[in-house]
Amino acid sequence: MLAIERRNEILEKLQKEKRVVVSELSKAYGVTEETIRRDLEKLEKDGYVIKSYGGAVLNENMNIDMPFNIRKNTNVVGKQKIAELVNSMVKDGERLILDASSTAVFIAKMLKEEKRNLTIITNSIEIIIELFDAQDWRVLSTGGLAMEGSLALVGPQTDQMLRSYYVDKAIISCKGFDMENGITDSNELHARNKKTMLERSGCRILAVDSSKFGHTAFTNIGDLENISMIITDEKPEEKWLQLFDRYHVECVWPEE
């Protein structure tokens, strides 16, 4: 196994369990404890973990961008639930914008199985690849600067392309969703592009799993007044539902 593959697996384990122990990882991978310590030093240098005595814990700072292949394996069940709900609301022949979030990848895969004759505009390289063989679909890439680690195209060129179209539904996700600070992301270019996506549709959907509620990332995407509907994986607390009612924002979650 390559060192980068081992570090990615360690990151996935941290996402699930929040902490790892050097001696346990050494036995699991059949390498020395010193090798594992070097792995953890590299992950700490990249900002993903915080080393502790005998191991490391996950750095849960909302402004740290995990690699895309790690994010898409986090809270898979929740993202699948969101994708199913979005699928139930999309009609054949509609025009959609999907952002470059890992949640949007799950949505794209579900739509591919169920819907016909869709037009998809996206800045996600992962979604473009996923939909290459989607029959009778139109898939438009935004273009833009390729951002390392996120499999996304971002920047002013992305905004320029998005402003050329108007769609039935724009579907975005976010890194943080707070009552006072609104909808936030860890990266300014991503946030700016998502804001433009919302401007290009009358139906603006925030597809966000429950782990993002009550958190604030670095930069603002928008507020509840910029959103038509919220789709999430669990029923929010009553204080959130009251807030949504006040802003006339519909919230949808899976029925038990």
Q: pLDDT by residue (tens digit) across 6-26?
A: 888 888 888 778 899 999 999
Q: Per mean pLDDT, which range of 5-9, 18-22, 88-92, 216-220 is the poorest?
A: 5-9
63: buried, middle or exposed (CB in 10 Å: 19+, 13-18, 0-12)? middle
Please tell me the predicted confidence (pLDDT) of residue 71: 63
CATH code 3.20.20.450 for 3-60: no
Percent of the chain with pLDDT over 90: 75
Angle between helical axes of 3-17 and 33-45 (0-180°, round to 10): 70
The domain ranges of the chain are 3-60, 70-252
Please tell me the predicted confidence (pLDDT) of residue 84: 96
Q: Compare 12 and 198 and report the one with higher pLDDT.
A: 198
Q: pLDDT by residue (tens digit) across 127-144?
A: 999 999 998 999 999 999
- Please say if the pLDDT value at position 256 is more than 70: no
Please tell me the predicted confidence (pLDDT) of residue 244: 97
Please tell me the predicted confidence (pLDDT) of residue 60: 72
Summarize the confidence of residues 168-175 as an average pLDDT.
Answer: 97
**What does pTM read for this prediction?**
0.81
CATH code 3.50.50.60 for 70-252: no
Mean pLDDT of the chain: 92
Nearest to 48 by CA among 80, 4, 78: 4
Strand partners, 229: 205, 250
Q: pLDDT by residue (tens digit) across 29-76?
A: 999 999 999 999 988 887 788 888 899 988 876 556 666 566 665 778
- Please say if the pLDDT value at position 252 is more than 60: yes
Q: Compare 194 and 150 and report the one with higher pLDDT.
A: 194
Confidence band, pLDDT 50/70/90 cuts, at residue 92: very high
